[in-house]
Structures are given as C-alpha cells and as structure tokens.
Amino acid sequence: MHVDLHCHSVFSDGGFTPEQIAARAARRGLGAVALTDHDTVAGWERFRAACEGAGVEPVIGVELTAEEDGHEVHLLGWCFDPSHPGLAEELRLCREARRQRIHEMTDRLGRLGIALEAETVFTLAGCEAPGRPHVAQALVREGHCRTLQEAFHRFLRKDSPAWAPKRRLPAARAIELVHAAGGVVAMAHPGLTRRDDLIPRLVELGLDGLECWHSAHNRTQAERYLALANECRLLITGGSDCHGPAKGQPLLGSLRVSASHLHALQERAREHRTFADSR
C-alpha cells in the first residue's frame, strides 16, 4: 500500500474539494491520504467521510508556518486530536492573522492605485485560511493582471510592493502544541526551505520526522534527506504537496510512499498520547 501524506484542499489554497481528493486517491490506488491544509482542519469531517466511502484511509493533518532563529520553516502535523483546546485556539489565531494579512495586502495595493477590496478576496477564497494565491486570483479576475504569475511577480512575491509578512509561530510552540494534542510533527519540504542547518535545533525541540520525498525534491535531494533523517533518528515522511488545478499539475499519488512510514508516524503519535495521559 502506498500513501500521500501532504495535500491541500479548497479549505486552504488547494483546488480540489475533500471529496475530489478522496476520489482521485482511490483512482490512483492510494491506501491512505493526509489532508494538510494550512492552519485549518475545517475540511476534516468531509474528508473523513469521503475517504471512508472511497475505501481510502483518511489521516488528519495540518501545515503550520513556523519560525526558528529568524527563519521561516513549514511544519506538518498528523494524527492529532482536532478538538484539543490549545491547538484549536492557535489555529484560530493563525487564521485570524491570515485575514489581517489580506487586509494589509489590499491596503498596499490601494496605495498603488489598484482598487481591490479584502472582501472580494475572502469571497473568492471561500475558506477560513485565505492566502496570497487568492489575492493573485482576485487580481486576475478583476482585470489588474493577466496571469497569476504576473500578479506574484509585480505585487505579491516577498519584498514586492503589496507583499506583507505572515504570522509565524515559534517552532518550539508549534511542536509542543501538536504533541500536546497527541500528534507528530515533521519538517516540510526541506529542499525548498534550504535551511538544513536548522534541522538539528528542531530535533532538540522535539521534531519527529523529515519530509524526504516531495514533488519538488529531485532524486539527489531525496537521498540527502533520507540520509539526514537516519542520522538524526527522524521518521521518514513524504507527500506530493498536491494543490490540485490551483497550482498546475494535480500531483496526488505522483509519489509512491510506503504505508510503513505512515504506520511509524501513527505509532509515534500513540507514544505521545500515552506520555500526555501519564502526566
């Protein structure tokens, strides 16, 4: 059995509904899929029901934007209790910050003479976790840019005129919260982050795993991170980071990750829950 431990739905910046992800996973022969939307688990119940109907094991997950030593890192959490009050409150604050960031970007666009209301972006996004891709889509839809690439290049990439920084959770806090909720945490797409020097520190903070296989990792990178994971005694994870048609190719199922890696994550999560219950 193969699994995909990293994908996004319309509940954050993906293009597929939870039902479409489940159906596509079944067609691609996947045994399990993790829904890892940014800062939200709002799509979880629909995803769980759809996966059960499609004969695919659903795995609860989330992607968090964190910070360590002043640098942005993305952390993936799985197998946690979504009702855990500490984690639920932090996710709410993250989503609130996302909405504030949209307001900041549209305000900056306004000062550039481009009239785009934040509410227009929220309506287009139709989710609790809007982000820059939704602003780009709104710029195209409103006729201010021809393509998403133009929108990012002119206005939304880092240090561009309308770019605004996003809230970043201290990595220690992110790991602590997911562990408290009975889950496990891995560093996402380290080949994109390009801060391998942060990994030992994250391990000290309790990092459980490393996303060695990712659609943006080439073979050399994957082998490097497999070796690094073994060296640091980290669990090995992998996923497509599928965003559906919102970001080009669907990708779901494009990586053949063994279910044994999911089982290792689930076993580690059980250990965290046992430890938390004993305190």
| Torsion sign (Cα): 243, 51, 253, 261 | positive
pTM of the predicted structure, to 2 decimals? 0.93
What is the assigned CATH class of domain 95-156?
A: mainly alpha
Domain boundaries, given as residue ranges, for the chain: 2-90+167-278, 95-156
pLDDT at 250: 59
- Give me the pLDDT at residue 257, please: 93
Joined together, the tokens standing for residue 185 give 């945490």
pLDDT of residue 278: 66
The pLDDT, as a whole number, for residue 245 is 78
- Can you tell me the distance from the alpha carbon of 200 to that of 170, in angstroms, rounded to the nearest whole number? 16
Residue 38, pLDDT score: 96
Q: What is the pLDDT of residue 138?
A: 97
Measured in whole angstroms, the distance separating CA 275 from the mean position of its chain's CA atoms is 26
Sign of CA dihedral 17, 217, 60, 66: negative
Distance of CA 74 to the CA centre of its chain: 7
Fold observed for domain 2-90+167-278: TIM Barrel (3.20.20)
Mean pLDDT of residues grouped by 10 in the chain (279 residues)?
A: 95 94 96 97 98 98 96 97 96 96 97 96 94 95 95 94 94 97 97 94 98 95 97 97 76 89 97 76
